[in-house]
Structures are given as structure tokens and as C-alpha cells.
Amino acid sequence: TALLVAVTAVVAIVAYTWVDNDWSAEQAGREVDRAASELASNTTDAVEDAGDRADRFLRETSAEIRRDAAQGMGEAGERVSPESES
């Protein structure tokens, strides 16, 4: 949705500038290409950042689950004693 709004805004700005400044189709096309390249670059950066955050989250969550499981096993082992020690 945000991408659609951004593209619509770029097209509207270019159309206004084209008419207002008597741009040629070539000039307007260059501006659209520039804006599209910038948008693609920003989108790529955002996707990479999201991937990095997801990877970090999964690693931290996995480590926490392992720590909790180890702690639980240790506590269970302390509570259960062999019958021969009773």
C-alpha cells in the first residue's frame, strides 16, 4: 500500500512538473527513472534490514529456548533423586 502511494505521488509530481515546466517526454522519463531507481534502492535496503532483524530475532529466540530447556532439565534433575539414595 505504501509503495502504491509512493509511486502515485511520484507520477503526480512528475506530471505536474512536466506540464508546469514544459518538459519533453525524455526529461519526464529521466525523472521517472531516477525516482524509480531511488525507490527500488530504498525498498532493497528496507528488505535487507528486515531480513537482518528477522535473522537476529530467530537466533536470539533459539538461544533463549535452549537456555530455558537446559535450565529446566537441570532443575528437574535436582528434584528427582534415584531411589537408591532414599
d(CA 31, CA 16): 12
For residue range 11-57, list pLDDT tens digits in order. 887 777 777 766 677 777 787 788 778 877 878 888 888 899 999 99
Cα(11)–Cα(35) distance, integer angstroms: 9
CA dist., res. 38 & res. 3, Å (int): 12
What's the rounded Cα separation, in Å, for the pair 68 and 85?
28
Distance CA 40, CA 51 (A): 16
d(C-alpha 80, C-alpha 30), whole Å: 74
This prediction's pTM = 0.46
